[in-house]
Structure 1
Amino acid sequence: MAEYFLFSIAESLIAKLASHAFQEASRLVGLYDNLRDLTKTLSLVKAVLLDAQQKQEHNHQLREWLTQLKIVFSDAEDLLDEFECQTLRNKVVKAHGSTKDKVSHFFSTSNPLLFRYQMAQQIKDISNRLDKVAADRHKFSLQIIDVDTRVVHRRDMTHSRVNDSDVIGRKHDKEKIIELLMPQNSNDDDDTSLFVIPIVGIGGLGKTTLAKFVFNDSRIQECFPMKMWVCVSDDFDIKQLIIKIINSANDQDAPPHQQNLNMLDLEQLQNQLKNKLSSQNFLLVLDDVWNEDRVKWVELRNLIQSAAGSKILVTTRSHSIASMMGTVTSHILEGLSEEDSLSLFVKWAFKEGEEENHPHLVNIGREIVKKCRGVPLAVRTLGSLLFSKFEASEWEYVSENEIWNLPQKKDDILPALKLSYDLMPSYLRQCFVMLSLYPKDYEINSYEISSLWGALGLIAVPKKNRTLEDVANKYLHELLSRSFLQDFTNFGTVYSFTIHDLVHDLALFVAKDDCLYVSSNIQNIPDNVRHLSFAESSLFNNLYHKKSVAMRTILFRYGSKEINSEALINTCVSKFKYLRVLNLWASTMETLPRTIAKLKHLRCLNISQNINIKRLPESICKLQSLQVLRLGRCLQLEAMPKGLRKLISLRELEFSTKQSILPDNDIASLGDLANLCIESSPNLESIFGGVQFPVLKGLTVIDCQSLKSFRLDGNFFPELETLGGNHFEEQSHKLKLKTVLFSNLSQLVALPKWLQEAANSLQCLIITDCDNIETLPDWLTTMTNLKTLSIKSCPNLISLPDNIHYLTALETLMIQGCPDLCEKYQPHVEEFWPKISHIKNIYIDEPEEPEKN
């Protein structure tokens, strides 16, 4: 994988060496000259890397050279991290006294000569190896291109829902499917047999888009009281499928709900499923099915007890699967016509009407879409690639690229996707590849991915007044602009998205053996793997016999309840000393071993949603490189460990506790803390008693029942931009908030007046699960910078402010679970629709149909 973006790794190494903190520390220990020489060699190699990366596909020797370089770069990263890590420990010793393990210190204030000698030897070794590899660069006639000039032109935000105008050339297919789904005669209402309609077509044709197109049609809404959507992909696990169906029926995607279902056995799940599905007819979409095992399909089919008139819509690439599952003739999805392909291409390559000024580019575009062979994903990706680019040479490069001439096998990566990836900026490539750690159709959130990217050092150092999360979100929008992400939803404080399965295949392809999602069908884990994600905790046993200092990431996607925590931590300590990310989400371990402190390079530790752990070892506070610590919904956690102030790199902290009083000074001493979340802490009585948080940008306090109302003063939170939770009905002043989330506030009947103080800064307002709020105040229309207004599950809210049209900056309005409000603001309601019609993106639930007698 790393061979594809060594340029970005070299940039990162050089930037670290050039940083003020690094240079100052190197001077203190007498290593400045050694590191300066290393920087010079890195710069020489970096200058030819962009050219080398582009030429490696057809030059085996060049590829081998890059592989050697990758190994040296990896060791250089470890060396610099070792230096940085020990420098941090030295700061802690000076500020807070001994960390009680000086004997084990590689960097010890009591023996700087030994440290200097050992570090100098390692730097010399790395420099010699790098010089040797660098000397061979002349063999390949590489050009010097020391600046990655590829840029990303961002288009406007998209949303997961499919608008009719976004779907081109599929209206006939849509009507055919709807015709099959609608009751054909009165006898259909008495027919309890399961009716299964397959949609079949090659990858990228838009089977899922067509299914969404049908799923959201008003006729289908009326016909099926219950609609469920389940992404199946290549893991046809009966238990997980039942959980997904129940979750979809409940319309609850929150992890706590999903975790509770995971704790149930198969029989309990079957009973829940039966109760959900037996009372009313339903439409179930099984998207992206790969299972060819008829026994598994029959088992699932028998569990789906259907009411009369229920139907299943299946999307698959396989005709044999369609034949096995379908009860009617499959709907075969063909490629788009050339004219429809060109229309789709123009829609993504130009702003509306812009193509009329560039007829010569449209002509080149016509040649490009011919090579896409009617595959919408390919057309859309290349259109996105060329968006806002008006140099004919750039379009001709795509049209005439040699990648179109390579032989194409059935399951090969789409040339259009590979070409778009090759033209990505180097920094974006390495971030994209990390998406291969997630299973197909997995809903990824920005909260999680930004922590992963940040911990692995993939995010550029933010400029002043910007956080790592800001830069990560910028990267996500760049990937979205290139059509590499889909189902992109803005929740105000976080984004969620998925990636198309063909895009996922591309991520796997370029990751090679560097990243691996370990499922039950993986027989062997490569020795040189660096990033691992496990579908099941039992699969971790495959690692007990591995030893890899290169290992950086270990994630458990669906919980780690079967793991012996002490054995796991000890394995990581003994085998993976440079581990950066450890995600033990939803584990059931009762203790965290003291040896966790030996993972001194760890930057992200997630133990959230553990229902058993009561205490954390104080040794956890020796992890001076730790940037992210997640302990949310650890409901039995009695107290936070003493000495949190020693975690001097921590920028994100999330926890639950049984404490009544927090060590505020410990938390406030975390000088880099940018995000703080306190949740599910029922005994907590007070927080933030006059303590200043100078750089905190995000604060969430939720479900702390004993907490008395508290006031936040802008003098103590000068940088606070995002505020969320259910404890903010009384607030203070001087807060320049950009995002506010009111959640689960049953006592809230009106928005608090303190919100008016953010009139000039507020950009996003989210109101969810506030049962008793009835109206929104007229002063809301003074929020002249408000861009997003999201209202969910506020059943008694009956109106928006009359002058909502004054909110000229408002771009997105979302209303869900508010029956009266949703009915009032429909396009056909002439009295109210004109008040919001100026808003660019409007997502309002359709009114519920009255129950039939």
Structure 2
Amino acid sequence: MAEGFIQPVGARRLEDLGADYFHDLYSRSFFQQYKNTSNQTTYKMHDLIHDMARVVSKDICFHTKYNSSDCYPLFGNACHLSLLHDNSQHIELKASLKNERLRTFLLMSTNVSSRGELHPELFQHLQFLRVLGLSSIGIAELPDSVDKLEYLRYLNLSRNPISHLPESMCRLAALQTLKLTNCPQLCDLPKDMKNLANLRHLHFDVKGQLQSMPLQFGRLTNLQTLSAYIVGRKEGNGIGELKNVNGLRGSLCIKNIEHVLDLKDAVEAKLGMKTCLDKLELQWRKLRSGLDPQLLDRRKNEQAEVLANLQPHENVKELVIQNYCGVIYPDWLSQPWRKFTSIHLQGLKYCDNLPSLGQLPFLKHFAISDLPSLKYVDHNFYGTCNAATFPSLESFQLHDMSALLHWRNVSNDAMPCLNTFTIHGCPNLISLPHKLLSLLPYSSVSNCGSLQAVP
């Protein structure tokens, strides 16, 4: 897509067209599927196809080892250049790398280099680049001259000790993909990022040091991938900036929701319009201890109202709610037409019961952890309908439930598909339903010292 090989067809997304092309090539055995060392499904080119491709592209594609000498003019006719470097090397890319034909430039390594440097004038001689990969080379900053790459569509800066990005980067009008994963020191994004009107994919660490989004982030209406939206306190970086960013796909984490104090802002986010999201994480920061009781009650009510109005589209399959301090659950969480397959509730300090989830027809995985006010799991959890409850549930996990005392009996027709039950860190738990332990293929109980009997 970054090279311009995929052309628009009607209203279809370029990514969908590219996926069609890939699957067509896969069906013709151009690519083969295999598992990598992390047991992830990946694809590689068939050996014969690879050999043929190397022969055909020998004059325009070069893959070689990096060295610090000025050998790069040898690749003056290259359109695509990749350099493999040793992680112990000092990476220094000089202005002597000159090639106006170059469209792809990748620095590749399996490990992170300890130090790297980009010459300020480097980009002036590579102004027609479409793809630039600078991951794992140990650079602490990106030169201001990056704005010379006016045709750049793909930029990968992952696994570098970068803390800031130059404002000049916001003049890369053609940029579609920006990768900033595993940049633990990254603490802010360029303030004029709103000008990257063609940006479609923005990747960064959800658990990184970023504290808020640039102002008017909502102008990036072409975004389809966004690792997280970090809610700020200012006008222009609140949760309402998500209003028109409705093309988001895959996973979205919304952080610092405690900054949403006005119910209208939660409504304005229009999460129900994000029809292509598969996973949604809603995160609050923990309330500080010692709050005035009246202020604490106000915060509980505010968060309950906010969560009620952060209703996602029914297509969302995975939901995570973290550090919510309200007492009640939103009605939308239990709606039987929801397509939730996984729900995880974590750090809900003041919830003393569980939501009624028994009638969710597709729920396969449910996990709860650190609900210190929950003492009982009772009939409310299963719902009031006479039909079999939790018809699709396969795994159930409970962790660190310090106040949990009893789990009421489970009916014989409940959880017919359950095969995994894990409970850990419930020191006051006295009883568990017989079915959860005696009839399952896999069950695990640990750090539950008060449990009177384990079937």
Query: TM-score scaled by structure 1?
Result: 0.34
Correspondence list, 1:152-301, <5 A:
none
Letter in 1 for 2:244: F
1:775–1:669 CA distance, 2 compared to 1 (3 A): closer
Structure 1 equivalent of residue 141 of structure 2: 591
Q: Distance in 2 between matches of 1:588 and 1:663?
A: 25
Distance in 1, matches of 2:82 and 2:396, equals 34
Q: Which residue of 1 aligns with 2:163?
A: 614
- 1:107-157 deviations in whole A, cap 9, x for unaligned? xxxxxxxxxxxxxxxxxxxxxxxxxxxxxxxxxxxxxxxxxxxxxxxxxxx
Q: What residue number does 1:727 align with? A: 283
**2:17 aligned residue (471, 477, 480):** 471
Tell me, yes or no, if the aligned pair for 1:693 and 1:716 is still in contact at 8 Å.
no
Give structure 1 stretches of 5+ with no counterpart: 1-453, 490-494, 784-788, 808-812, 820-829, 838-844
- 1:431-460 deviation digits (Å, cap 9, x = unpaired): xxxxxxxxxxxxxxxxxxxxxxx2222334
Cα pair distance change 1:633/1:758, threshold 3 Å:
farther
Q: Distance in 2 between matches of 1:459 and 1:615?
A: 32
Alpha-carbon spacing, 1:775–1:714, altered in 2? closer, same or farther (3 Å): closer
Is 2:2 aligned against 1:458? no
Residue by residue, what CA displacement relative to the aligned partner does 1:611-633 show, whole Å, maximum 9, x if unpaired? 3x332222111111111223345
Taking structure 1 as reference, are residues 517 and 706 closer, same or farther at Cα in structure 2, changes over 3 Å only? farther
Q: 1:754 aligns with which of 332, 336, 341?
A: 332
Is the 2:178–2:202 contact (alpha carbons within 8 Å) kept by the matching residues of 1? yes
- Helix, strand or coil for the counterpart of 1:700? strand
1:366-385 equivalences in 2 (<5 Å): none
Write the distance in 2 (CA, Å) between the matches of 1:515 and 1:743.
44
What is aligned with 2:226?
676
Alpha-carbon separation, structure 2, partners of 1:716 and 1:766: 18
* Higher RCO (C-alpha 8 Å, min separation 6): 1
2:157 counterpart letter in structure 1? I
The structure in which a higher percent of residues are helix is: 1
Residues 238 and 260, structure 2, Cα contact 8 Å, conserved in 1:
no
Offset of residue 599 of structure 1: 0.8
8 A Cα contact 1:767 1:791, kept in partner: yes
Q: Could you say if the C-alpha distance between residues 777 and 526 of structure 1 is closer, same or farther in structure 2, counting changes exceeding 3 Å?
A: same
Matched, 1:551 2:120: no
1:561 aligns with 2:113: yes
Alignment partners' CA distance in 2, 1:718 and 1:620: 30
Alignment partner of 1:779 out of 323, 348, 359? 359
**1:498: which partner in 2?**
42
CA displacement 1:818-839 (0-9 Å, x = unmatched): 89xxxxxxxxxx98896489xx
Counterparts of 1:787-826 in structure 2, within 5 Å, are: 791=365, 802-803=388-389, 805=391
Following the alignment from structure 1 to structure 2, what is the Cα–Cα distance between the partners of residues 776 and 477?
Answer: 41
Paired AA for residue 509 in structure 1: M
* Kept after mapping to 1: 8 A contact 2:90/2:114: no
Aligned-residue identity in percent:
22
The answer to whether the aligner puts 1:624 opposite 2:179 as a matched pair is: no
Contact residue 622 and residue 646 of structure 1 kept, 8 A: yes
Q: Which residue of 2 aligns with 1:35?
A: none
Comparing 648-657 with 588-597, greater Cα deviation is found at: 648-657
Is the Cα contact below 8 Å between 1:713 and 1:734 reproduced in 2? no
Q: CA RMSD in A?
A: 5.1
* Aligned 1:371-770 pairs, distance under 5 A: 454-461=1-8, 463-464=10-11, 466-482=12-28, 484-487=31-34, 497-499=41-43, 503=46, 506-511=49-54, 512-513=57-58, 514-518=60-64, 527-536=76-85, 538=89, 546-557=97-108, 558=110, 561-562=113-114, 564-567=116-119, 570-574=121-125, 576-611=126-161, 613-632=162-181, 634-655=183-204, 662-665=213-216, 667-678=217-228, 684=232, 687-691=237-241, 692-698=243-249, 700-701=252-253, 704=256, 711=266, 713=268, 715=270, 718-722=273-277, 723-727=279-283, 730-732=307-309, 735-743=312-320, 745=322, 753-755=331-333, 759=337, 762=339, 765-767=341-343
1:777–1:750 CA distance, 2 compared to 1 (3 A): farther
**Contact between 2:281 and 2:319, CA under 8 Å: does it hold in 1?**
yes
Give the distance between the partners of 2:271 and 2:415, measured in 1 at CA.
Answer: 43
**Alpha-carbon distance in structure 1 between the residues aligned to 2:19 and 2:135:** 23
Note the alpha carbon deviations across 1:78-128, whole angstroms, 9 max, x for none. xxxxxxxxxxxxxxxxxxxxxxxxxxxxxxxxxxxxxxxxxxxxxxxxxxx
Gaps of 5+ in 2: 285-305, 372-376, 400-411, 420-439, 447-455
The aligned length equals: 353
The higher radius of gyration belongs to 1
